């Protein structure tokens, strides 16, 4: 999913008074069990649609690339790299 550098805006005033409208929304989730950790990300376009949640599933690395936000920085690097690089829909009942 490509996010433009300059967001769309709404309103009747000058550009600086207009309200930015997000092109997409994201969510990242980290789950810890007794023996393991797993993570999943979601990127959802800001438009009407009724697709199953699994259609929006992505790795946390992909969300980080789009948002330029580093999630789960408090985890040891070896764990962070493992959980952010992949996801398994079966782990999340999707």
Q: What is the pLDDT of residues 33-48, one digit of tens each?
A: 888 999 999 999 988 9
Residue 15 is predicted with a pLDDT of 59
Answering whether pTM is above 0.75, one says yes
- The C-alpha angle with vertex 51 and arms to 49 and 52, in degrees rounded to 5, equals 145
CB atoms within 10 A of CB 28: 19
């Amino acid at each position: 999913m490509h996010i433009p550098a300059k967001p769309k805006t709404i309103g009747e005033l000058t550009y600086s008074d207009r309200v930015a409208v997000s092109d997409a929304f994201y969510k990242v989730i980290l789950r810890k069990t007794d023996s393991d950790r797993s993570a999943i990300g979601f990127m959802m376009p800001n438009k009407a649609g009724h697709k199953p949640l699994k259609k929006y599933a992505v790795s946390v690395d992909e969300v980080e690339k789009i948002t330029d936000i580093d999630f789960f920085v408090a985890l040891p690097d070896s764990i962070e790299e493992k959980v952010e690089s992949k996801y398994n829909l079966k782990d999340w009942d999707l």
